[in-house]
Structure 1
Amino acid sequence: MMNNQKIGVGIIGASPSNPYSWAVNAHIPSIKALSDDYELRAVSTSRQTTAKEAEKKFGVTGFDNHLDLINHPGVDLVVVAVKVPYHHEIISAALDAGKMVFSEWPLANGLDEAEELTKRAEASGVRTIVGLQARYSPVIGYAKDLISEGYIGDVLGTTLVGSGMGWTGVTDHLNSYVYDKANGVTLLSVPIMHTIDTLQYLLGDLSILSAQLVSNQAEAVIADTNTIIPFTSPNHVSIMGTLTEGTAVSVYYRGGISRGENMRWEINGTRGDLVITAPSGHSQLAELKLQGGRNQENHVEDLTVPESYFGNHLPNGMPGNTARIYEQFAKDLREGTYTTPDFAHALRQHKLLSIIETASLTGMRQHLS
């Protein structure tokens, strides 16, 4: 812990006027729930009016310039919860100031920026976090333990089908930036990479993969302004391959919302099967459901996740996984461990993202080292 005191948190991007604000909906409830370890000290937004609104709502100093927040003496941990194209500038400034950084995923807009930020973090010697929090879902934790205990025997294969919820023909102004792949927020980079990070956490790393990124809609309509924008982000992604232990993998995501299931993940073994479902393909924030069956059972049944996986004092629903990543980070600081996903981990995922794009572009199978 910071000098045996609470970790002072400053959040960049905490605009109360934005209904989609991840900072407001996930980070602030998490910090409040972990008041023994953390204290919110400052927030910043891009405009003076919203900064004042945030200051009034959250009861801490509000800035309209991220540099003022970074230089606040009470801020130990800078949370970067803004659009990806602004990550590089803000994270660089925080690292230069010697502050710990919690960056939402993706860490950066492309592999080159991710490599540079990771090198900066290593040179500065400060602790970092990246918001790949799906692994902290109680369902994922319980499924991992079941697999390690041999519930389904040896894992043979896994199939995952999901919906991106966005990246369809109609959007609104606030979300329209994700349709331009140059902004770094795509069907592949967000819901798929969150989920593949979790898949590898459960089952092991990808060893060989093939991929196809499909863009078959050229335009989208912004409904609230009735304007048409180019649609350059892929809206269908298929990935096939094997894990290091030989497990077969198939992942398919589509843009939009399915009238069927929006996420179904099967893990098949020599003795049984696990099935994870959710109302959204965003595994990092969706409410996951776990089912299983084994041996002579010819179907799966609901599996109840023990209460010990949830944490009594942590919020339920959307903020839950973010709260658990904060909780783990505080524990790492106390115990001198490094288990929370950090920038080095994020860089590995950015490299994997780049390999998937290369596989699609070249049509060639990629062997991962």
Structure 2
Amino acid sequence: MATASNTVRVGFVGVSGSDDPTLTGWANVTHLPALEALDGVVLAGVCATSPEKAQAAADRFGVPGYSSAADMAAAQGIDIVAVTVKVPDHYDVVTAAIEAGKPVYCEWPLGNGLLEAEKMTHHAATRDLRCAVGLQARAAPTIRYVRDLVAQGYIGDVLSTTLLGSGMNWGPGMLLRNAYTLDARNGATLLTIGVGHALDPLEFCLGRIEEVQTLSGLRREEIHFVENSKTVKATAEDQWVIAARLESGAVASIHYRGGQAGGQNLRWEINGTEGDLVLSSDFGQMQPMTLALAGAKGGERPEPMEIPPEYMLAGDLPDPALNVAQAWALFVSGSEDAATFEDALHMHRLIDAIDQSARTGRALVREFDKGVEVWCEAP
């Protein structure tokens, strides 16, 4: 991404100026360390919901503070607007940035539902803005290496893939600040977050999904808050089981469950005609943590595999900042591997199809109508 100063200046909506670690959010623990680790990308502005909060963040980080996303986006000292607020607030902030002619890096999910994602993607395209979405799992060193291994034929032709993951959230107890994820109307559910963050790297490595059939369930209807033991009713399903067929003909099985299991919470197997790859983690979501990789050929037991250093784009950052830094590196370099708004729109359509299949009990297939991706009931 070329700029007049050869430095990419990023303004953040959603950074906290508080010194209290319980009040700092995702941006503080991931995006800010990520920018510090990258050459030529700097924090240049912060925006908060009130003048007082904006000033606190400005004082803490030594950059200009804004109480309006539109004002920050319009500032000459900002090249990119990063949106790290809750999902229901994405649309207004992203729209303000696009109106100001600034590229956007928006956290995933892009919108609260498919319609918002369609509007934002179209809006950015009409302004000829290349915008990124925080589907950072695809940028992870392990995922990028796995994609190359598959493409190079390490396991032969892919026959099938199986992914079992835990949401970590959506279990018996939850932090108060995450309560909004229990309400399906807010667009930040196990399906959109846990499943969405898993399906993007799956497709990144193995190709697009062409057919889905889904079961879902809400097994924990009451969740208690760990801070005070009060309870709240959940409306967002906490079990998602997806049977899918990829464009290659390979079949896929994906199960995401709320909460967490003891020990391993994520296991992703890719089985081919010549061998197998296995990715695993004690953390159940795909995007925040480094995944262990094992591989084998000819029916042997999978053994640990080292990730070559050329897949590390952002140094030796710890989790969960590493994958975010990798995603920023791909975006600002103009790499085709960066997750864009178009990728986000595709994922929103896939998520919508998965949800529709669960509600109707019917399989859905991906088709194209005048070049536009649509999902229809299978014949």
**Please, what TM-score do these two structures have when normalized by structure 1?**
0.94
Aligned AA for 1:368?
R
Identify the residue that residue 189 of structure 1 maps to in structure 2.
192
**2:36 maps to what in 1?**
32
1:309 partner amino acid? Y
Other-structure match for 1:330: 332
Does residue 301 of structure 2 align to residue 303 of structure 1? Answer: no
Q: Could you say which residue in structure 2 is the equivalent of 1:87?
A: 90
Over 3 Å counting, the alpha-carbon distance change for 1:16 and 1:287 in structure 2 is farther
Deviations 1:52-105 (A, max 9, x none): 332222111122332332222201100000000001111111111111111000
Matches within 5 A, 1:101-180: 101-180=104-183
Aligned-residue sequence identity (percent) comes to 36
**Larger deviation, residues 56-65 vs 228-237:** 56-65
Report SS of the residue matched to 1:161: strand
Mean alpha-carbon deviation: is it higher for 24-33 or for 188-197?
24-33
1:42 maps to which residue?
A: 45
Aligned to 1:61: 64
RMSD: 1.6
**Residue 21 (structure 1) aligns with:** 25
Q: Relative to structure 1, is the Cα distance of residues 275 and 339 closer, same or farther in structure 2, using a 3 angstrom cutoff?
A: closer
Contact 2:155 2:277 in 1 (8 A): yes
User: For the residues of structure 2 that align with 1:252 and 1:351, how far apart are their CA atoms?
Assistant: 19
Aligned amino acid, residue 144 of structure 1: R
Secondary structure class of the residue paired with 1:25: helix
- Check whether the contact 1:100–1:128 (CA below 8 A) recurs between aligned residues: yes
Q: Distance in 1 between matches of 2:282 and 2:152?
A: 28
Matched residue SS, 2:284: coil
| Shift in Å, 1:227 | 2.5
In structure 2, runs of 5+ residues without a counterpart are: 368-379
Q: Distance in 2 between matches of 1:169 and 1:124?
A: 45
What is the number of equivalent residue pairs in this alignment?
363
Q: Point out the more displaced range, 98-107 or 302-311.
A: 302-311
> 1:166-223 deviations in whole A, cap 9, x for unaligned?
0012212111111111110000100111110100011111111101121122221223
Match of residue 348 from structure 1? 346
C-alpha contact (below 8 Å) 1:206/1:244 kept by paired residues: yes
8 A Cα contact 2:70 2:100, kept in partner: no
Residue number in structure 1 paired with 2:295: 292
* Counterpart contact for 1:129–1:342, Cα < 8 Å: yes
| SS of residue paired to 2:293 | strand
The aligned counterpart of 1:8 is: 9
**What does residue 234 of structure 2 align with?**
231
The 3-state SS of whatever aligns with 2:289 is coil
Moved more, 288-297 or 84-93: 288-297
Q: Paired residue for 2:365? A: 367
Structure-1 residue corresponding to 2:374: none
Measured after TM superposition, the shift of residue 127 of structure 1 is: 1.9
Deviations, residues 21-51 of structure 1 (Å, cap 9, x unaligned): 121111111111123x212110112234432
Partner of 2:76: 73
Larger mean Cα displacement after TM superposition, 220-229 or 126-135: 220-229
> How far off its partner does 1:125 sit?
1.4
2:314/2:326 contact within 8 Å kept: no
- Give yes or no for contact 1:141–1:309 (8 Å, CA) kept in 2: yes
By how many angstroms is 1:254 displaced? 0.5
Name the CA distance, whole Å, in 2 between partners of 1:163 and 1:280: 8
